[in-house]
A and B are shown apart, each in its own frame.
Chain A
Amino acid sequence: MLAVVLTSLSKPPEGFKAPGIEIFDFTKTCLIGDGSLCVTKVTFWMLMSSVIISALFLIAFRNPQIVPKGLQNAIESIVEFIRSGIVMEVMGREGLPFLPFLTSLFVFIWINNLFGIIPGINFPTTARMAIPMFLAILVWFVFNIVGIVKQGGLHYLKNTLFQPGVPPALYLLVTPIEFVTVFIVRPLTLAVRLSANMIAGHLMLTIFFVGTWYLQWKLISIPMAAVSFALGTFITAFEVLVGVLQAYIFTILTAVYIAGAIHPEH
C-alpha cells in the first residue's frame, strides 16, 4: 500500500486534479472489517483521542499538589479557563455542576480538531459529520432534560415556545419560529458549524499541499510551488487558531443553551 503511494508520488503527474470531497472518505482503506461500517482511520483516532485525554487528566491529577507544577498546571489552566471564561460568565454559580461536562466537550473537540495538523494523522476527525452530529444530539438531550427537570415539562415548553411580553396575536407567528429555532436549528447549526469549519480547513490544506507537490516538477513553476507551500504553512498555523476557536464556540453555545433551560427568559 505504502509502496504504491510512494511510487505514484515520485512520478510527475499527468494533469492536475483538484482534491474534492472524496478525501474525506476512508472506507476504501478500512483498518478492521470492510464496507461502510468498518473501523477507519477516523474511528481509530477518535477512540485514541479519548484514551489520550483520559491519560492526560489521570496523570495530571493522580497526585495533586496545592501548588501545581508541570502537567497539572497546564490541565488546571484549561479547567480554570472553562470555569471562569464560560461557566461563570454565561451560567453563573448554578452552572458549576455542568463544569465537567463542558470541560470534556471542550477538550474532546479541541484534541480532535488538532488531529488535522498533527503530522502522521493529518485528518481532523470532527470533519466527519457523524462526530459533531452525535455531540450536538447529546447537547440537545442535555439542555432539554435540564429544562424539564428544572422548570417542569409543561412550564419548560410554555416558557420556550410562548415567550412573555409578546402581543397574543403574534404568538401565531412567534411560536412556530421559536419551535424551529430551539429544537431543530440549534443542534443543526452546532453540528454544521463545527464540521464545515473543519472540512473547509482540511480542504484548503490539501489543495495547497497537493498544489505544491504538483508545481515542483518543472523548474518554471517552482516559485509558484513556493508560494503554495507558504500559504499552506500559513493555513496550518491558522488551523491551530480555528481548532481552539471552534471548540470554544461549541462549548460556549452549549453553556448558553443550558443556561436558557435553567432560567426562563424574562
Chain B
Amino acid sequence: MTHLFGLLAQVSGDVGAIGKGLVYGLAAIGPGIGIGFLVGKSVEAMARQPEAAGMVRTTMFLGIAFVEALALFGFVLSFII
C-alpha cells in the first residue's frame, strides 16, 4: 500500500491528462448502460408490436438524446478542465 502511495506521489507530471481521461471515462459509464437498456427495451417493444414501430422509434431517439447529453457533458468537460 505504501508502495502504491509512493508511486502515486511520483505521478505528478501528467496528472491533467489522466484526469481528462477519467472525466470522460466515468461520464460515459452511466449513459452507456442507459442507452443499452433503452435501445434493448425499444427493440423488444418493436418486435412485439411492429405496427407501433414508428412511435417507439421516435420516443427512443428522444430518450437517447436526453441520456446521451450526460456523456457529452463529460466529453466537453474533459476539454475544459
Contacts and interface: CB of A to CB of B under 8 A. Distances in A.
Interface of A: 21, 85, 89-90, 189, 192-193, 196-197, 199-200, 245, 248-249, 252-253, 256
B72 to A, nearest CB: 4
Nearest to A189: B69
A170 to B, nearest CB: 22
Given A192-B73, A193-B65, A252 B58 contact: yes
**Chain A interface main SS type:** helix
Interface of B: 54-55, 58, 61-62, 64-66, 68-69, 72-73, 75-76, 79
Nearest to B69: A189
Contact of B79 (A21, A89, A249): A21
Contact of B72 (A21, A90, A193, A252): A193
Given A249-B65, A253-B65, A192 B58 contact: no
Contact of B54 (A89, A189, A200): A89
The 5 closest A-B pairs by CB, nearest first: A196-B72, A189-B69, A249-B65, A196-B76, A196-B75
B62 A192 contact: no
27 contacts: A21-B79, A85-B54, A85-B58, A89-B54, A89-B55, A89-B58, A189-B66, A189-B69, A192-B73, A192-B76, A193-B65, A193-B68, A193-B72, A196-B73, A197-B72, A199-B75, A200-B75, A245-B61, A248-B61, A249-B61, A249-B64, A249-B65, A252-B61, A252-B65, A253-B62, A253-B65, A256-B62
